[in-house]
Structure 1
Amino acid sequence: MGHRTIRRTSVTLPSLDEPGRYLSSVASLEGGRGRVAEFHYGDADLRALELAETHLIDGRVTGLRVQRARLDKLRVDSVEFIGCDLASLHWSGSKVTRAVFRDCKLLGAILEDVTLDHVLFEDCRLDYSTLTRVRCVGPVVFVRCSLRETTFDAVDLSAAALDDCDLRLAEFNGGRYRGLDLRGNDLSQLRGLAVLKQVIIDRAQTPQLAEALAAELDVTYGEDVDDT
C-alpha cells in the first residue's frame, strides 16, 4: 500500500495495482443496490451525472467529462479519479476515504458537509470553488493545485497540508485551521487571515502574511499620502 507524504502529513493511497487484483470495466457508476466495487470507469462524456446513496469501492475513474454533476450521500473508499472534468459539481453529505484526485478540473465546485480521510489532490484545478463544512478527519494533501478565489467556509483543515498551490485570493471564513501546514506556498494574497490561527508556516513566509494583511485592511502607506 503506497503513501504520499508532504513534510509531516502522510496520506495512504488506494492499492489498486496489487498482483492478482483485477478491475472490471463498468458502463455506469450506478451499481446494483447502490454499490460498485473493483471497477474501472472511463472516457465518458456525459451531459449530467447524478449519484445518490451510492458506495464506490476499490475503483478507478479516468477521463470522465461531465457538464453537470451532483453527488449526494456518496461513500467513496479506495478510489482514484484521474483526468476528470466535473463541471458544475455539487457534492454534499458524503464521506471520502483513501482517494486520489489527479489532474482533475473541479472549477466552481460546491462541496458541502463532505468528510475527507486520507485524500490526495494533485495537479487539480479548484478555482472559484466553495467548501462549506468540509471536515478533514484524517490527513488530506493538496499538491500543485490551483485554488484561486476558492472560499473555505466553516471547514476543518487541521489535518491538511498544501504544497506549491496557487492560493491567490483564496478566502477563509471561520472554521478550524490549527495545524494546517501552509509551508511551500505563496500566502501574499490570502483573505480572512484572522481565522488562520496556529497554522504552520516558514519564517520566510511572514512578510507574505504581512502583505496579505495590509491588503485586507486596505491600509494607506505614508509615502503615498500628500501631506502638503
Structure 2
Amino acid sequence: MSSKKIIEAPKLPKTLANITQPAYHLQPEDEFSLGIICDCTIDSQTAGKVSFDKIVFQNVTFTETSLTDLELTDIVFERCDLSNVIFHDAIIHRTAFYDCKMIGVDLTGATFRNVQFHRCIADYATFRFSNAKQALFQECSLCSADFYNAAFQKVYFSRSNMDRAQMTGVKLEGIDLSDCEFDALGAGLADLQGCVISREQASVFAKQFGLAIKE
C-alpha cells in the first residue's frame, strides 16, 4: 500500500550476531545494541529508561515485564509474545512488529515514529494518550483496543479488525477505516468528523447514534 512508502523501515546492518538475552534484572538506563535475541523468555523485568538499538527479537516471550520510558530504535519483533507487557511512555522509532501476540500490551503515553504492526493480535491493547506519527496497522486484530485521547498524524489502518476499539478523543479526520472490520466503534460524532468509512460502516454508526436509515 502507498502508506508503506512514507514509513521508514528499521535501519539494520545486513548481518547481526546472536546476543544472549538479559540474564539478570535489568537496571535503569541499561543499553543493548547490534544483535539478535531469539528463542527465549524475558521474564519478570522491571526498569526505567532501558534502550535497545538495532536489535532483532525473534520468538521471544516477555512475561511479567514492565519497562517504563523504554527507548526502541531500529528494532524488529518477529513472532514475539508481548501480551500484558507494560511499556508506559515508551519512545519507539523505526520499529516493526511482525506476527506478534500483543494482547493487553500497555503502551499508554507512548510516542510512535515510523512504526509498523503487521498481522499482530493486539486485542485489548492500550494506546491511551499515545502520540503516533507515520504508523501502520496492517491485517491486525485490534478488538477492544483503547486509543483514548491518542494523537494521530499519518496513521494508517488496513484490513484490520477494530471491533469495539475505543477512539474517543481521537481526531480521526483523514483516517481511512473503510477496509477495516467492526460492528461498533467507541467514538463520538466530533471524533469521526472527516473520517473515511465505507457505506456498510455508515450504517453501523447510524445504529450506534440512534439514527434510522430509510430504504
- With the length of structure 1 as denominator, give the TM-score of the two structures: 0.82
Q: What is the CA distance between 1:187 and its match in structure 2?
A: 4.5
Secondary structure of the residue aligned to 2:72 is strand
Report whether the alignment pairs 1:67 with 2:63. yes
Q: Quick one: which amino acid aligns to residue 35 of structure 1? A: E
- List per-residue Cα deviations over 1:3-39 (Å, max 9, x = no partner): xx44476311113253xx4334132184895211102
Report if the CA contact (8 A) 2:206-2:212 is conserved.
no
Look up the match of 1:112.
108
Report if the CA contact (8 A) 1:9-1:141 is conserved.
no
Q: What is the CA distance between 1:211 and its match in structure 2?
A: 1.9
Q: What is the CA distance between 1:210 and its match in structure 2?
A: 2.4
Secondary structure of the residue aligned to 2:169 is strand
The CA distance in 2 between the partners of 1:221 and 1:99, in whole Å, is: 43
Look up the match of 2:127.
131
Report whether the alignment pairs 1:122 with 2:129. no
Report whether the alignment pairs 1:183 with 2:175. no
Secondary structure of the residue aligned to 1:151 is coil
Report if the CA contact (8 A) 1:191-1:212 is conserved.
no
Aligned pair partner of 1:217 in 200, 203, 209: 209
Q: Quick one: which amino acid aligns to residue 124 of structure 1? A: C
Secondary structure of the residue aligned to 1:211 is helix
Deviates more, 1:152-161 or 1:45-54: 45-54
Q: What is the CA distance between 1:133 and its match in structure 2?
A: 0.6
CA gap of 1:181–1:27, structure 2 versus 1, over 3 A, is: same
Secondary structure of the residue aligned to 2:54 is strand
Q: What is the CA distance between 1:65 and its match in structure 2?
A: 1.2
Q: Quick one: which amino acid aligns to residue 139 of structure 1? A: Q
Deviates more, 1:38-47 or 1:153-162: 38-47
Secondary structure of the residue aligned to 1:39 is strand
RMSD: 2.6
CA gap of 1:86–1:42, structure 2 versus 1, over 3 A, is: same
The CA distance in 2 between the partners of 1:155 and 1:200, in whole Å, is: 18
Look up the match of 1:225.
none
Aligned pair partner of 1:164 in 149, 159, 162: 159
Secondary structure of the residue aligned to 1:173 is coil
Deviates more, 1:112-121 or 1:149-158: 149-158
Secondary structure of the residue aligned to 1:210 is helix
CA gap of 1:84–1:51, structure 2 versus 1, over 3 A, is: farther
Matches within 5 A, 1:97-108: 97-108=93-104
- With the length of structure 2 as denominator, give the TM-score of the two structures: 0.87
Report whether the alignment pairs 1:140 with 2:135. yes
Report if the CA contact (8 A) 1:144-1:166 is conserved.
yes
Report if the CA contact (8 A) 2:146-2:165 is conserved.
yes
The CA distance in 2 between the partners of 1:16 and 1:163, in whole Å, is: 26
Q: Quick one: which amino acid aligns to residue 162 of structure 1? A: F
CA gap of 1:17–1:184, structure 2 versus 1, over 3 A, is: farther
CA gap of 1:49–1:33, structure 2 versus 1, over 3 A, is: closer
Aligned residues: 212
Report if the CA contact (8 A) 1:123-1:143 is conserved.
yes
Any gaps of 5 or more consecutive residues in structure 2? none
Look up the match of 1:53.
49
Q: What is the CA distance between 1:190 and its match in structure 2?
A: 2.0
